[in-house]
Amino acid sequence: MRQRILATIVAALATAPAAADIQFSLGSGGLKAKHTELDINFKIGGRIQLDYNNVQTDIDDNETTTTNDLFIRRARIAFSGNVQNWGFKAQYNIAEAGVKGGTVEDLFIEYTGFGKPARITLGKQKEGFGLEELESSKDITFLERGPLTDQFAPGRNYGLQIDGDFDWGHYQFGVFENDSTGVDPNKSLDRPSFTGRIVYNPIKSKTAVVHIGGAYSNRANDVQLTGFELGTSVDAFHAQAEYVHRSSKDTVSGDTDNQEGYYVQAGYILTGEHRPYKGGAFKRVKPTGEFGAWEVAMRYDSGYGDFGNLGLVEGGRGELVTGGVNWYANNNVKLGLNVGWAQEQDSDNQGLETRFRTQFVW
């Protein structure tokens, strides 16, 4: 009996140092585990976005149609980590998973052995195109990305990409399949997309940054995307703008179709916080006061875009004016209210949207 007890104590003492080397933390950034000696990190994070949406649409001067909806906009769980110079991320959207089966958002492996100047990523990831698209949905100023981004930004696809950061800015270059699912045989690497983005920061400090960016994507079926980006965040003020041009060639007639659009937005944090910036994109406001941070913002969109959120044309020309108020209760919770009015440029069709969101991230 004594021998068994002694053996148990010895085994516990033998394993105690290894267990003690693992550091667990639970905070606003999620659940983290770290083993310093072995250089291993692991994190579990996620987000829940619950929306109420009211849309009033007037089509062809007929009676206004009103729709109301309360729904889960996003519910995601994400696992990420690294073992020495190798990392991974697996993010899954479980919103309405019982009905739609859910979707894989990010699923990639990366090599980080070159440090900040170069990171190599293989798998499903965001292509380097569009400032607003590359900002996480939990970080964007308005509750939804604008019509321009929804219409033109490639978003996530399977591919190989290299990106990096320098004192002067950021870059991304990659080759991708033309298919976000990776299973469509008609959208394979036989007709890949080549996408690149370069960002220059003439000013970059803790309280001020200037962002100048450009991106280009050559895609299947003779589709080409060209984008330009401007942005700044100085003390409590921040602003950004994008212009995108899309050209495509008709495979039958050979005619070229050109589409373009732009948006301009600005915001001010009433409680004095600064909107942070990292890796060529803006991040969400982090409140410093006991009662959180308050932010007001305005936005104007014009040109081709996806105006479907307001019950209007998807892929046509229109104008959209949006005003928003955000309350960042803490680093995890955000409540936002947006009101947007839109009109199609080729008709008198109009739409008015009021959206309220409760967001919890970890």
- Measured in whole angstroms, how far is the alpha carbon of residue 315 from the centre of its chain? 21
- Whether 2 is covered by a domain: the verdict is no
Give the Cα separation of 59 and 67 in Å (integer). Answer: 14
Residue 14 lies in a domain: no
pLDDT reported for residue 63: 79
pLDDT above 70 covers what percent of the chain? 90
pLDDT band for position 6 (50/70/90)? very low
Rounded Cα distance between 82 and 114, Å, is 14
Q: What is the pLDDT of residue 178?
A: 77
Q: How far apart are CA 277 and CA 134, in angstroms?
A: 12
At 168 the pLDDT is 96
In a domain, 17, yes or no: no
Model pLDDT, residue 101: 63
Residue 315 has pLDDT above 90, yes or no: no
Q: What is the CATH number of the domain that holds 182?
A: 2.40.160.10
Residue 18 lies in a domain: no
Q: Give the contacts of 322 (CB within 8 A, at least 6 positions apart).
A: 142, 146, 298, 299, 300, 301, 338, 339, 340, 341
Question: How many angstroms separate the Cα of 207 from the Cα of each of 152, 237, 238?
Answer: 31, 10, 11
What does the block give as tokens for 309?
């959120």
Tally of CA atoms within 13 A in the half-sphere of 134 that contains its CB: 24
Is 171 inside a domain boundary? yes
Q: Which helix (H) or strand (E) holds 14?
A: helix 2-20
In this prediction, residue 192 carries a pLDDT of: 92
pLDDT score at 13: 38
Which three-class secondary structure state does DSSP give residue 218? strand
Residue 261: inside a domain: yes
Average pLDDT for 220-246: 96
Q: Over the stretch 72-116, which tens digit does the pLDDT of each residue have?
A: 999 999 999 999 999 999 999 987 555 566 789 999 999 999 999
Mean pLDDT, rounded, for 233-248 = 98
Residue 146 lies in a domain: yes
pLDDT band at 220 (very low <50, low <70, confident <90, very high): confident
pLDDT tens string 111-129: 999 999 999 999 999 999 9
Determine the structural domain holding residue 197 and report its residue range. Answer: 24-361
**Is a pLDDT exceeding 80 seen at residue 15?**
no
Q: What is the mean pLDDT of the chain?
A: 90
List beta partners, residue 234.
Answer: 208, 237
Query: What percent of the chain stands above pLDDT 90?
Result: 74
Average pLDDT value for residue range 14-32: 71
For 159-203, how does the pLDDT look when each residue is reduced to its tens digit (9 = 90+)?
A: 999 999 999 999 999 999 975 444 555 556 778 999 999 999 999
Question: CA of 11: how far to CAs of 3, 22, 38, 90, in Å?
Answer: 12, 18, 21, 35
Q: pLDDT tens-digit profile of 250-296? A: 777 778 899 999 999 999 999 999 999 999 999 999 999 999 999 99
pTM given for the model: 0.88
Give the mean model confidence (pLDDT) for residues 52-63: 89
User: Range with the lowest mean pLDDT among 11-15, 45-49, 178-182, 196-200?
Assistant: 11-15
Total domain count for the chain?
Answer: 1
287 lies in some domain: yes
